[in-house]
């Protein structure tokens, strides 16, 4: 998991480093948080998002899934990038919002489920992340081919909040 990729410089750095890191660590999957890859405004705090060209560059590196956060809907290309099945946005924020929040990638015997969530410190009107995750896990467990592993990208503010969530859902 790599994140948070910020701006074109962040994408370019990954283009330089991912081949070396792949050779060194031989990961089975690569998930990247790239909600800030395209700086779309004068102030990065209020204008980020993702552009199709940046996503194409990341997928060309062998990235399996790209996750978002509170900036998932920023920028002029939000609807287009969120229509891609391996680009996720927080699943616990607005069922009618563009995009999806979970995906399974891989092959039989090595399938990774990725869930993208936001805490209420990152997105005040998000549904409870724990409840959203449990619902998604139940859906996958009831399916014919559930994932072998699950990775959760919880987008939040304080580290302590993410640690508490991790302890609550571990295993």
| pLDDT at residue number 94 | 87
| pLDDT at residue number 48 | 85
| pLDDT at residue number 75 | 87
- Our measurement of the distance from residue 120's CA atom to the centroid of its chain's CA atoms, rounded to an integer in Å, reads 17
| pLDDT at residue number 39 | 84
Note whether 89 and 73 are within 8 A (CB): yes
Which structure tokens are listed for 45? 């705090």
| pLDDT at residue number 41 | 64
| pLDDT at residue number 43 | 62
CA–CA separation, 109 and 112 (whole Å): 10
Can you state the angle between helices 159-169 and 129-141, rounded to 10 degrees? 30
Instruction: Name the pTM for this structure.
Output: 0.93
CA–CA separation, 129 and 116 (whole Å): 9
Per-residue pLDDT of the chain (171 residues; tens, 9 = 90+): 998 999 999 999 999 999 999 999 999 999 999 999 998 666 655 678 999 999 999 999 999 999 999 999 998 999 999 999 999 999 999 888 999 999 999 998 999 999 999 999 999 999 999 999 999 999 999 999 999 999 999 999 899 999 999 999 998
């Amino acid at each position: 998991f790599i994140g948070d990729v910020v701006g074109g410089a962040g994408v370019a750095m990954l283009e330089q480093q991912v081949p070396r890191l792949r050779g060194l660590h031989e990961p089975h999957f690569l998930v990247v948080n790239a909600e800030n890859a395209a700086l779309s405004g004068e102030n990065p705090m209020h204008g980020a998002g993702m552009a199709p060209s940046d996503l194409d560059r990341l997928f060309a590196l062998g990235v399996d899934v790209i996750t978002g956060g509170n900036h998932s809907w920023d920028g002029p290309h939000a609807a287009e990038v969120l229509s891609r099945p391996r680009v996720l946005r927080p699943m616990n924020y607005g069922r009618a919002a563009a995009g999806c929040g979970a995906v399974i990638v891989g092959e039989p015997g090595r399938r990774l489920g990725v869930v993208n969530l936001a805490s209420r410190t990152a997105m005040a009107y998000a549904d409870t992340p724990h409840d959203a995750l449990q619902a998604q896990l139940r859906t996958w467990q009831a399916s014919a081919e559930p994932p072998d592993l699950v990775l959760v990208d919880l987008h939040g503010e304080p580290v302590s909040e993410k640690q508490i969530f991790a302890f609550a859902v571990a295993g």
